[in-house]
Structure 1
Amino acid sequence: MTDLSDFMFTLYPYAKSLHIMAVLSWMAGLFYLPRLFVYHVEQAEKVQQSLPIFLMMEDKLLRLIMRPAMIVTWLAGLLMVFTPGLVDWTYIWPWTKGASVIAMTGFHYVLMKRYRDFANGQNTLTGRQYRLLNEVPTLLMVIIVISVVFKF
């Protein structure tokens, strides 16, 4: 078991670095995609031939940036969580961070569903509703950062 623990501790700085980079990429997408949806709702009908452009940008953001970043975030995060002695589960912070990351993942899937609705011509939300949705990742990010920094 010591060899595995030593190996995981050796990997820790790499996992943490990868985790931070992946989180930044994922969060950028989580902030930007609802904003694209706002423009999609409010501008696509006004500008000829813009609908396919919006759909392409949203699809590429989801598939090529956000999904891989989410997966790497989870994998690197789990590697750190399972590194022995790194997380003290008697504190509240790992639980609040974990719940917030799960909620962030759920939000990611909500955005995927909203994209599919756009692609199928079935969007029912307004620009204002997408602006409000855009606050969800901000709130979750605040909870996650405070949890990790202060470790209550």
Structure 2
Amino acid sequence: MDLSDLLFAIYPYAKSLHIMAVISWMAGLFYLPRLFVYHVEQAENVPESLPIFVMMEDKLLRIIMRPAMYVSWAAGGLMVLTPGLVDWSSLWPWSKGLSVLAMTWFHHWLLIRHREFASGVNSRTGRSYRMMNEVPTLLMVIIVVSVIFKF
């Protein structure tokens, strides 16, 4: 069995794993900015809640989001390597790829914000986190439309 045959054989598994990992990653990308909103807004009212928010954010990042991002990339990479699956002369793999890179950037942006919260130096408002909460939605729309319509 050569590499192409192996990639074709594991394709349904890679695709299934990719979908599950992306769902998990997206859930975290949607939820973490919302946690930041609550973190900012509750910090004024309930100071003893701060370590609880830091712990929740940390666990979401380490236990769910980071592994889900890695598995999304790995399973997606396997699918990209499957011969004949991607038409590189089309626009869709490039729009999806750029959106995935932007999603990964956003993940790291959230990680930096979490580190700021953990060190007590957050300077952003709940409103700014609400606005940033729209970033993964926009990227998800671009990715899904790109893959489904393959323009």
Give the TM-score, by structure 1 length.
0.97
Secondary structure of 2:48 counterpart? coil
Q: Which runs of 5+ in 2 are unaligned?
A: none
Partner of 1:57: 56
User: In 2, distance between residues paired with 1:120 and 1:50?
Assistant: 15
Q: Is the 8 A contact 1:45 1:51 kept in 2?
A: no
Secondary structure of 2:59 counterpart? helix
CA deviation after TM superposition for structure 1 residue 48, in Å: 4.3
CA deviation after TM superposition for structure 1 residue 49, in Å: 1.5
Partner of 1:104: 103
Partner of 1:80: 79
Partner of 1:36: 35
User: In 2, distance between residues paired with 1:148 and 1:116?
Assistant: 34
User: In 2, distance between residues paired with 1:58 and 1:33?
Assistant: 7
Question: Greater shift after overlay, 15-24 or 36-45?
Answer: 36-45
User: In 2, distance between residues paired with 1:144 and 1:131?
Assistant: 22
Partner of 1:10: 9
User: In 2, distance between residues paired with 1:50 and 1:125?
Assistant: 18
Residue deviations 1:81-100 (CA, integer Å, cap 9, x gap): 01111101010000000000
Give the TM-score, by structure 2 length.
0.98
Partner of 1:147: 146
Structure 1 stretches of 4+ with a deviation exceeding 2 A read none
One-letter code aligned to 1:100: S
Residue deviations 1:27-71 (CA, integer Å, cap 9, x gap): 000000000000000012312411110000000000000000000
CA deviation after TM superposition for structure 1 residue 142, in Å: 0.3
One-letter code aligned to 2:144: V
Q: Is the 8 A contact 1:97 1:144 kept in 2?
A: yes
CA-atom RMSD in angstroms: 0.8
